[in-house]
Chains A and B, each alone.
Chain A
Amino acid sequence: MIGPGVVGGAVGAGIGAPSMLAALPEMLLAGAACLILLFDVYADPARRALTPTLTMVVLLAGVLLTSWFAMSGHRELLFDGLYVSDPLASFLKLVAFATMATVVFYSQDYLEQRGMRGGEYYVLCLTALLGVFVLISANSLLTVYLGIELLSLSLYSMVAFDRDSGIAAEAAIKYFVLGAIASGVLLYGMSVLYGLTGTLQLDSIGHLVRHGTDAGVIIGVALVVVAVAFKFGAVPFHMWVPDVYQGAPTSVTLYIATVSNLGSFALIMRLLAHGLAGLPALWTQMIMAIAVLSLLIGNLIAISQSNLKRMLAYSAIANAGFVLLGFATGDTAGYQAALYFTVAYVLTTLGAFGMILMLARRGYEHEEIADFKGLAARDPLLALLMLALMFSTAGVPPFVGFWAKLWIIQALLGGAHVWAATFAVLISVVGAFYYLRVVWYMYFEAAGEQPAAPPRARMRFILALNAAGVLLLGLLPNALLNICSRVIG
């Protein structure tokens, strides 16, 4: 944590030309989104196929820019303290860039097969990413709200992107209505906190709100927690998750499950862990209850799903429970574990949805779990990769998911939450069942009518790299563990 004196000094610097440099990734994204939109409208149809490539170039440039800023490694406040640039922000942005690049790569063929090649997908992806970035660097209630709206509005339209699909339209409407209510709740909570403290600055709120007994504070914090839980899709604010995951085009589901998840992490980190650092007791208990409920409901309902996307939605709810458990400790070790869990989860989920995208073809979504029957016989390599991904999410070594769960449990035990830790491991045994079922269908069942998996050598290669990452980070987890503990010091 940084002392108030340093904060004040940085704020005093105000908007100066040099200090805006740290926000270059965001400016790049905003500019690129506009340019790609224009390009897509005005370029002749033959050239439009370049849009994904252009997007990739933008993302690559972003990675380079962010790495450059990550080098400095110190904390800096910009725009009158609305915006913060610190190692955590740089790390999350790097991960987000890389994740989005993988998403774009996995989605290309899928979108093309379905005649959804319009550049809007890429533009919306970029604006949503911008929203995530604003959340990551938010240091004021206003910035938080700006980020969450930018992200959500982009996501609503992305879910409805397949305009001829009824189920997608239904999902988008549900998501929009519930999301709008959640935004309202968030705004109300923020206004209460602002009214009580007289400041929008997150780090100042953290110092000003020290007495949790005040009814106003409790209401304000509770409302904020509700909005956070909604964004995570945590129980009891999870209703949108299964419908959206299943209804949205798979490439959009992939985006929501990964990039947007990083945004959720940033949201809770900035809003609760940093903003209300002075009052952990006030919100950690709420988060703990929400986390435990998410683990229970998510894991139990996932068992009965037959659609893989819907199953992964409930799995996402359960995994949100794990991340929130990390936050429920209210200490740095827990936040570090939650960050590690999020990164590990994003990496594994990329692969799992990538696998659905890989196997899907025109008119065939390959999203039922039964579609995976006999995959081991049809395509041993893909089955092996999926096996690694499933066991990783189940938390079995030697995959990265094991360390993610281990670190969360360790943080819980370190904070003397023995019962929460025991509950978490027991419920993850329940969770293991539905991941095992995918393996069971792939390996133990005879192949049905499914056509052979498409060759798609490039995508196969990236998927293999993805799964290899899951294994490698499982065998040698130290580097990522170290990064996660360093950026949240």
Chain B
Amino acid sequence: MQSIAWLSIVIWLPIGAGIVTLAMGDARPRAARWSALVGSLATLVACVPLYVGFRNGTASYQFVERANWIPALHAQYYLGVDGISLPLILLTAFVTVPVVIAGWTVIERRPSQYFASFLIMEGLMIGVFAAADALLFYFFWEAMLIPMFIIIGVWGGPRRVYATLKFFLYTFLGSVLMLVALIYLYEKTGSYSIAAMQQLPLALTVQRWIFLAFLVAFAVKVPMWPVHTWLPDAHVEAPTGGSVILAAIMLKMGGYGLLRFSLPITPDASRELDWLILLLSLIAIIYIAFVALVQTDMKKLIAYSSIAHMGFVTLGAFLVFLILAATGTSDGATVGMDGAQFQMISHGLISGALFLCIGVMYDRLHTRDISAYGGVVNVMPAFAAFMVLFALANSGLPGTSGFVGEFLVILSSFRASFWYALLAATILILGAAYNLWLIKRVIFGGVANDKVAHMQELNGREFLVLGVLAASVLLLGVWPAPLLHMMDASVQHLVQQAVASKIPAVALR
């Protein structure tokens, strides 16, 4: 289709740049920083052809690269993107740049290892989204844990070892069950191609087991209540950049997995067990939002808010069956799925930006306690403007990207049932409550203490990072059409896959 393997480039370029950065050594932090910046920017530039060359009207894989990787296991180096994965790849490449810039002078300990970890992780995360072969997908999915383990463990807060071990073991536990399910599917289809697995007819009992195995893997990653407990720990202890990547990209892998694996591979089990996902999603939305309300640590607050917002993603994705049952058609379901997808991208930008904001404050006062702040607007007006914008976006203010995703999901939940819509809509109230209360306590009011009085206004680097993110949040908020168009065909295809039964006619039970 095209002569240049852009997907391979965006996967291996950052990994290569990471290795170069690592080779620079910690004795030359300047060289390491610059090679990291150049690497991440080059990756972002390499994404431009992907965006420009992407054709919107089709659900089939584009930019396909297919080569034999492990013929002995029938696994292929098979890459391709559709409307579901491409936005996430763009998001990954986009968010990594601010992460590198944000760590520019802040990271003094082993800087080359820090930047290298992020670049290598960027490549692996893009690999997760670009893989069209299940084994390749799993390969990237697991490999990614290594740099994140190092990032939280080396540059994290006081309880970093506990947090990073918990993070690693939780996600590892989830994913090994997925591996068993994938190998089982391979034994049935004779290939690791995800598309082949999606077409494989499966009896309902088998589907149920596979669905549950997938669910454990993806629910841990999303994270859904009650397997979310690793997230607040990991977020609080991770360095700023780590939190940004965790919130912006890693959580999305869970959502992506549900859309790419659970719904299409086990549609009948999804239909049967959709109540489980919907229930867990609503608990996440309502209960976790209350939990967020009482946090005293800013990072923890945003971490819990992330869980609540990811609840919207899972809710939107799994409403499809209820809508089908209520209206007889799956038309409305695409709206919910669109909302879920949009929410992932939007939340990636907003939560990333909020963690960067907290990082900015932490760099000055070295505490994340809400009570240590107050009246920041008096000393840092520009920063306060950004922070307020992102907090409002996080609570779904119209005009920001946060509104679009939530609106679409609530809209489609009306088609399922009024009560779902009512419960889901509580996030608008609760979200506004914890976000605004955070702003009130941290940003507004009189200058709380001497330390706050001596906080320095944003420097150019921080301003640039937050400015770019603010612009993209606003842009997606007022003009979501390009992103929605990009997703449209793939989302429709996904809904069709989800509502079509895969139970073989003879084995119907």
| Residues on A facing B (Cβ under 8 Å) | 376-377, 380, 384, 387, 391, 396-398, 402, 406-407, 409-410, 413-414, 418, 421-422, 425-426, 428-429, 432-433, 436, 439-440, 443-444, 476-478, 481-482, 485
Out of B69, B154, B169, which one reaches A433, CB within 8 Å? B169
CB of B365 closer than 8 Å to a CB of A:
no
CB of B183 closer than 8 Å to a CB of A:
yes
CB of B195 closer than 8 Å to a CB of A:
no
Chain A nearest CB, measured from B182 CB (Å): 10
Out of B22, B26, B73, B150, which one reaches A443, CB within 8 Å? B150
A418 and B184 contacting across the interface, CB-CB below 8 Å: yes
A439 to B434, CA, bound (A): 38
B172 and A380 contacting across the interface, CB-CB below 8 Å: no
B142 and A402 contacting across the interface, CB-CB below 8 Å: yes
Take A397-B143, A478-B70 as given contacts and tell me if A409 and B138 are in contact as well, using a CB distance cutoff of 8 Å.
no
A406 to B161, CA, bound (A): 28
Contact string against A for B residues 165-186, beta-carbon threshold 8 Å, 1 for contact and 0 otherwise: 1001100110011011001101
Chain A nearest CB, measured from B315 CB (Å): 29
A6 to B68, CA, bound (A): 37
A478 to B71, CA, bound (A): 7
CB of B450 closer than 8 Å to a CB of A:
no
B168 and A436 contacting across the interface, CB-CB below 8 Å: yes
CB of B106 closer than 8 Å to a CB of A:
no
Cβ of A421: which chain B residues have Cβ within 8 Å of it? 180, 183
Q: Looking at B22, B146, B184, which has the most chain A CB atoms within 10 Å of its CB? A: B146
CB of B153 closer than 8 Å to a CB of A:
yes
Cβ of A409: which chain B residues have Cβ within 8 Å of it? 179-180, 183
CB pairs A–B below 8 angstroms (17 shown): A376-B110, A376-B113, A397-B139, A397-B140, A397-B143, A406-B179, A409-B179, A410-B187, A425-B176, A426-B173, A432-B172, A436-B149, A439-B149, A440-B161, A440-B164, A477-B70, A481-B73
CB of B145 closer than 8 Å to a CB of A:
yes
Q: Tell me the nearest residue of chain A to B124, going by C-beta.
A: A398
Q: Tell me the nearest residue of chain B to A391, going by C-beta.
A: B146
CB of B49 closer than 8 Å to a CB of A:
no
A410 and B110 contacting across the interface, CB-CB below 8 Å: no
CB of B507 closer than 8 Å to a CB of A:
no
A444 to B163, CA, bound (A): 12
Q: A397-B140, A397-B143, A398-B139 are in contact. List 16 more A-B contacts (CB 8 A).
A: A376-B113, A380-B25, A380-B113, A396-B145, A410-B186, A413-B183, A421-B183, A422-B177, A425-B180, A426-B173, A432-B168, A436-B165, A444-B153, A481-B73, A482-B71, A485-B72
Take A409-B183, A410-B73 as given contacts and tell me if A396 and B173 are in contact as well, using a CB distance cutoff of 8 Å.
no
B161 and A396 contacting across the interface, CB-CB below 8 Å: no
Cβ of B168: which chain A residues have Cβ within 8 Å of it? 432, 436
Cβ of A426: which chain B residues have Cβ within 8 Å of it? 173, 176-177
What class of interface size applies to chain B in its complex with A?
35 or more
B143 and A396 contacting across the interface, CB-CB below 8 Å: yes
Cβ of A380: which chain B residues have Cβ within 8 Å of it? 25-26, 110, 113
Chain B nearest CB, measured from A135 CB (Å): 27
A446 to B176, CA, bound (A): 32
Chain A nearest CB, measured from B145 CB (Å): 7
A485 to B72, CA, bound (A): 8
Contact string against A for B residues 42-77, beta-carbon threshold 8 Å, 1 for contact and 0 otherwise: 000000000000000000000000001111110000
CB of B160 closer than 8 Å to a CB of A:
yes
Cβ of B187: which chain A residues have Cβ within 8 Å of it? 410, 413-414
Q: Please name the 3 residue pairs, one residue from A and one from B, whose CB atoms are nearest each other, closest first.
A: A425-B176, A481-B72, A444-B153
A440 and B176 contacting across the interface, CB-CB below 8 Å: no
A413 to B184, CA, bound (A): 6
Cβ of B164: which chain A residues have Cβ within 8 Å of it? 440, 444
Chain A nearest CB, measured from B230 CB (Å): 14
A316 to B176, CA, bound (A): 21
Cβ of B72: which chain A residues have Cβ within 8 Å of it? 477-478, 481-482, 485
B172 and A481 contacting across the interface, CB-CB below 8 Å: no
Chain A nearest CB, measured from B162 CB (Å): 10
Chain A nearest CB, measured from B107 CB (Å): 15
Cβ of B180: which chain A residues have Cβ within 8 Å of it? 409, 413, 418, 421-422, 425
Cβ of B113: which chain A residues have Cβ within 8 Å of it? 376, 380
A429 and B176 contacting across the interface, CB-CB below 8 Å: yes
Take A413-B187, A433-B165 as given contacts and tell me if A443 and B154 are in contact as well, using a CB distance cutoff of 8 Å.
yes
Q: Tell me the nearest residue of chain B to A478, going by C-beta.
A: B70
A410 to B145, CA, bound (A): 23
A377 to B27, CA, bound (A): 11
B177 and A425 contacting across the interface, CB-CB below 8 Å: yes
Contact string against A for B residues 2-29, beta-carbon threshold 8 Å, 1 for contact and 0 otherwise: 0000000000000000000010011000
Cβ of B179: which chain A residues have Cβ within 8 Å of it? 406, 409, 425
Cβ of A439: which chain B residues have Cβ within 8 Å of it? 149-150, 153
Cβ of B73: which chain A residues have Cβ within 8 Å of it? 406-407, 410, 481
Chain B nearest CB, measured from A97 CB (Å): 24
Cβ of B150: which chain A residues have Cβ within 8 Å of it? 439, 443
Chain A nearest CB, measured from B181 CB (Å): 10
Cβ of A482: which chain B residues have Cβ within 8 Å of it? 71-72
Cβ of A444: which chain B residues have Cβ within 8 Å of it? 153-154, 160-161, 164
A377 and B143 contacting across the interface, CB-CB below 8 Å: no
Take A376-B110, A410-B73 as given contacts and tell me if A429 and B173 are in contact as well, using a CB distance cutoff of 8 Å.
yes
Cβ of B68: which chain A residues have Cβ within 8 Å of it? 478
A455 to B145, CA, bound (A): 31
